[in-house]
Structure 1
């Protein structure tokens, strides 16, 4: 199966995530100040825009920032468009079961950030365990990610339809089991599940807040589609016409699930902000 990502297109709509990213940074009280941190890690840096223009200044007294993404195209774009002598952009799949080479190269981090990435990693438990491995004994991590929302619902429904079954990729092969529920989990269920995953990863939860029905606002309908449609993989056997028809129907279903105004288009999403630390903190 293949998915098509355009760093340039993603960069145009990526600003929609910034308000909540900044809120998460503002509300989090890290136990170790940035001035005492040697290096930090940004998982899922994407185009590098937020890393360079927000996260680095926010952590300005830290000596080094390593920013990683699983997609080579994103890292190439970040290096070309948002370089900085204190940022090292590298390819890393945070859901990989072997991060030993990365650890050997960079060592452990005082702080790990991960914004709007964990919900795209199938093995969330592995990703959280990797975060723990990457943290120093007194290290902390800040994750911001989504629970179930309209995009997943539409994708799952369409993938079960006979006319699209051989065209669209199965979402359950890509997204985490956290979302694989017939009924949308309550906010309390989400919080409980997250805390259990954190504990299983060998970390302690400092705080876990779930923000219900938070609007994700775009300037127009196309912004919604530019952000979400590239995540949908199609099967290699599908013709271009079949892929195009599938994406047209998905576009219609997604927009129908949004609220539209003359100058915006938005959908609600439940956002999890997690602050945790290594269980081996002394």
Structure 2
């Protein structure tokens, strides 16, 4: 995800869900000490505006993201804040940099880990970078209708050449009947003590179809591969596929309901490993 400008203009849904999570775990956040890593921080607007005010003033936050453009933007935008620093990081890399081993007292990750192909490895790496007794708070997308739209549109001849790897971008639990059970199994096998893991059904209302389109285009992994004219039409097709309902004529000025499922996860790395 490298469209910094597009994301900054259209990430209200993520900010809304992140704010709810941060409020719910405000007491836990207020007890944090030391260093906290925000994995998948993007432009760090949520990091600074929502997360940082809930942490004690002596906690240093390291924003981490796989996108070089996002990290460059975050560094420039938040250079005035001494409590923030930023690094490039692929959380599902085969090997995490040695200097990150047991480097953090806490970790958070919002709307990021569901984009990893190897969920288990991502959590193994988080386990690795946490110090014994360290905790992690994660918001993980378990289901979203937009990913089913990806699968349908990927079969259309005009878009198929640009979406050959579409399954790489479908969350692990998109079509799973028991995501909580499956996620707990991964976390416990990784070594974590699972303090909390629950599935939430969330709703968000986009004011109209155009606003919904801007949101889904900003986080879309395929448009950057398409010629400009093809990408523009793809955005329209994607938004209409998401908003359309059977036996109902689509009104572009009507509100668009977004129903999605989130896994809320709170973890602890044991003081003594098994």
Q: TM-score normalized by structure 1?
A: 0.83
In structure 2, the residue matched to 1:24 is 21
1:10 paired with 2:1, answer no
Q: Specify the SS of the correspondent of 1:193.
A: helix
Q: Following the alignment from structure 2 to structure 1, what is the Cα–Cα distance between the partners of residues 97 and 82?
A: 25
In structure 1, the residue matched to 2:261 is 270
In structure 2, the residue matched to 1:48 is 44
Q: Specify the SS of the correspondent of 1:112.
A: strand
The unaligned stretches of length 5 or more in structure 1 are none
> What do you get for the CA RMSD once the two structures are aligned?
2.8
Change over 3 Å in CA distance of 1:7–1:234 after alignment to 2: closer
Q: Following the alignment from structure 2 to structure 1, what is the Cα–Cα distance between the partners of residues 63 and 224?
A: 31
CA deviation profile, 1:100-128 (whole Å, cap 9, x unmatched)? 24516xx5211100011111111111111
Contact 2:213 2:235 (C-alpha < 8 Å) held by counterparts: no
Moved more, 111-120 or 157-166: 157-166
1:248 paired with 2:236, answer yes
Moved more, 89-98 or 14-23: 14-23
Trace 1:32-43 onto structure 2 (pairs within 5 A). Answer: 33-34=31-32, 37-43=33-39
Q: Following the alignment from structure 2 to structure 1, what is the Cα–Cα distance between the partners of residues 68 and 113?
A: 18
Matched residues, number:
267
Q: How far is 1:31 from its partner?
A: 9.3
Q: Specify the SS of the correspondent of 2:123.
A: helix
In structure 1, the residue matched to 2:189 is 200
In structure 2, the residue matched to 1:147 is 142
Q: Following the alignment from structure 2 to structure 1, what is the Cα–Cα distance between the partners of residues 162 and 14?
A: 30
Q: TM-score normalized by structure 2?
A: 0.86
The unaligned stretches of length 5 or more in structure 2 are none
Q: Following the alignment from structure 1 to structure 2, what is the Cα–Cα distance between the partners of residues 62 and 281?
A: 26
In structure 2, the residue matched to 1:233 is 222
Q: Following the alignment from structure 2 to structure 1, what is the Cα–Cα distance between the partners of residues 126 and 107?
A: 7
